[in-house]
Structure 1
Amino acid sequence: MRIALLGTGPWAERVHAPVLAEHPGIDFAGVWGRRPEAAAALAGAHGVPAYEDLDRLFADVDAVSIALPPAVQPDLAVRAAEAGCHLLLDKPVALTVPDARRLAEATARNHVASVVFFTVRFGGEQALWLEKQAAVGGWFTARSDWLGSVFAPGSESPYAASPWRQEKGALWDVGPHALSVLLPVLGDALEVTAAAGPRDTVHLVLRHTGGASSTLALSLTAPVEAGGTSMELRGTAGVAHLPERGEGPVRALHGALDALRESARTGESHPCDAAFGLRVVEILAGAERSLADGGPAGL
């Protein structure tokens, strides 16, 4: 699979480009960025061409790996899908429901494979644990904490300068990750209620189709000493805890690329495709309505 990278920021430089360069089933075919000089530098570091003409890039490759802000991603992903390119998407796939729906519809209409890179869904022991818990069933409730320190005092995160994270906060940055692990285990969400916490912290309560409920705590401003990720399930099988992350995003991206290649080969949709990305955006938008209205939001 010939695949090009769209994006030149820290996520593209630290994760996407190195993985595309070393993945054995991938031909890293080029880089495009909104800043041509940054695209040339990143492409040169990996010995691949830099593109300024997107239509030419789409014509030269089988797929694109997108590492761009979520407000920018939908338009370019739709163009790529219409050119017949398979899509490795970043989360959230968009910042509005109409944009996310337009993207999902484009992948279906053009019969291209799509995979959204939710890191836990492609990462080793945690991914296997999720499959096991979904098969067990009988869950009564779940609790999930995704507490990051990107904007906390003393943080040295390379993502602290991200304008969209500064604007949208934890709900839209780590919220997609939390939903990506809860929904396959507890079922789709019927209703969401949101409450604001300190700084950008948001607390969500979800009611799921299987009858279970879940609570989420999301933050990018937690103290460095208090940050971390956890998930606890309680039900007829007892209590289960999400294993600690043993592999970083680099290993997970290899898994996401394998999933994209398989979906493109078989024509079968992956569980984390653009349609699932749309559902995540619908739930996040529902949470925003709940914050504004002060009550539950139907989904």
Structure 2
Amino acid sequence: MTDASLPWSHAPVKVGLVGAGPWARAVHARVLAAGPETQLTAVWARRAEAARETAAPYGADVAARFEDLLDSCEAVAFAVPPSVQAELACRAAEAGKALLLEKPLALDLPSAQRLVDAVDTAGVVSQLVLTSRYNPATRRFLAAAQGVDAVGARACWLHGAFLGGDFATAWRLEHGALLDLGPHVLDLLDAALGPIVRVRGTGDPRRWIELTCEHASGAVSQASLSGSVNVERGITRIELFGPHAELVYDGAALDHEESWPVLRREFATAVRTGKSGELDVHRGLRLQTLMAQALEA
């Protein structure tokens, strides 16, 4: 695991931010500007006033055009809807920029594949913002999971953000919990129990969807996903079962502030070494493929 407390001996990576919504302001701009591994150089958004509000606290420039943003940085972070990300990230890759991408990569599998092809053709670094994966507690859980012979698992990812508020956005309300929460759940189940070889989905992603996953190990996992239920606090939980004692992951108890220094250090390290890590665009494509399979079922 990356030790984000060690001194950073390289020049900070100059990062331009695409997007100026609540998530961009609360996470991307703040985390990238904190350094020392990265420097927020500019912000571009379709709403110029929102871009100014996002950039101002950190002394970053406001790019008048997306092309101007590309001219000001060596890496681009995205905090926009998946359809917008899929289009603009291809252009950024073609311009030779490293990519810090949100999940899902795109709204559909063909668009995600085009983005992967653009990244591979350009040979640029990519990294996916799967928030919990950069948390030390999550990594301890995944390390522990490698030492148990799990035959089954249950997962539950529930919240009420789609009922109203900043994150009840158009793409989330249209496509539901599978595209929003599915990448997190499928990624962790795949990492904890071994590769998922088949996934089936039942229900309505806009209300409640159940996933049943078959793993190469022979294990079977099930996951309940919803963003449209009234719960006092989000429920983010995975339980692994087998001949061993139950192994539990409680994501709701995580301090997400512990994730950001690790994410920032690993992205900057990837850019400086020219080598993407495990959580790159190809990981995003695998998760997109699994979600497409669930929708087909």
Check whether TM > 0.5: yes
CA contact (8 A) 1:143 1:214 kept: yes
CA contact (8 A) 1:125 1:243 kept: no
Question: Cα gap change, 1:99/1:244 in structure 2, threshold over 3 Å: closer, same or farther?
Answer: closer
Which residue pairs with 1:26 in the alignment? 38
Which residue pairs with 2:181 in the alignment? 174
- 1:138 shift after superposition: 2.2
Residues 42-81 of structure 1: pairs in structure 2 closer than 5 A: 42-81=54-93
Which residue pairs with 2:136 in the alignment? 124
User: Amino acid of the residue matched to residue 7 of structure 1?
Assistant: G
What is the DSSP-based 3-state SS (H/G/I as helix, E as strand, rest coil) of the residue aligned with 1:106?
helix
Question: Which of 274, 279, 289 does residue 272 from structure 1 map onto?
Answer: 279
- 1:179 shift after superposition: 1.0
What is the DSSP-based 3-state SS (H/G/I as helix, E as strand, rest coil) of the residue aligned with 1:214?
strand
Query: Partners in 1 of 2:206 and 2:55 — Cα distance?
Result: 38
Which residue pairs with 2:29 in the alignment? 17
TM-score by length of 1: 0.89
- 1:243 shift after superposition: 3.8
- 1:249 shift after superposition: 4.0
Which residue pairs with 2:108 in the alignment? 96
Query: Partners in 2 of 1:35 and 1:248 — Cα distance?
Result: 32
- 1:244 shift after superposition: 4.2
Residues 1-299 of structure 1: pairs in structure 2 closer than 5 A: 1-133=13-145, 135-152=146-163, 157-160=165-168, 162-196=169-203, 200-225=207-232, 227-290=234-297
- Tell me the matched-pair count: 285
Structure 2 unaligned runs (5+)? 1-12
Deviations 1:31-57 (A, max 9, x none): 010112211222123211100222232
RMSD: 1.8
CA contact (8 A) 1:70 1:91 kept: yes
What is the DSSP-based 3-state SS (H/G/I as helix, E as strand, rest coil) of the residue aligned with 2:17?
strand
Deviations 1:208-260 (A, max 9, x none): 12211110000001222374111001134432001444444444233222111
Of stretches 279-288 and 38-47 in structure 1, the one that deviates more from structure 2 is 38-47
Question: Cα gap change, 1:72/1:198 in structure 2, threshold over 3 Å: closer, same or farther?
Answer: closer
Identity %: 36
CA contact (8 A) 1:74 1:103 kept: yes
User: Amino acid of the residue matched to residue 233 of structure 1?
Assistant: L
CA contact (8 A) 2:152 2:220 kept: yes
- 1:202 shift after superposition: 0.2
CA contact (8 A) 1:146 1:174 kept: yes
What is the DSSP-based 3-state SS (H/G/I as helix, E as strand, rest coil) of the residue aligned with 2:82?
coil
User: Amino acid of the residue matched to residue 20 of structure 1?
Assistant: L
- 1:144 shift after superposition: 0.6
Query: Partners in 2 of 1:56 and 1:13 — Cα distance?
Result: 20
What is the DSSP-based 3-state SS (H/G/I as helix, E as strand, rest coil) of the residue aligned with 1:136?
coil
CA contact (8 A) 2:237 2:252 kept: no
Query: Partners in 2 of 1:27 and 1:226 — Cα distance?
Result: 34
User: Amino acid of the residue matched to residue 140 of structure 2?
Assistant: L
- 1:102 shift after superposition: 1.1
Question: Cα gap change, 1:92/1:248 in structure 2, threshold over 3 Å: closer, same or farther?
Answer: farther
CA contact (8 A) 2:42 2:72 kept: no
User: Amino acid of the residue matched to residue 223 of structure 2?
Assistant: L
Deviations 1:19-75 (A, max 9, x none): 112122111101010112211222123211100222232132111111000111011
User: Amino acid of the residue matched to residue 228 of structure 1?
Assistant: I
Query: Partners in 2 of 1:9 and 1:23 — Cα distance?
Result: 21
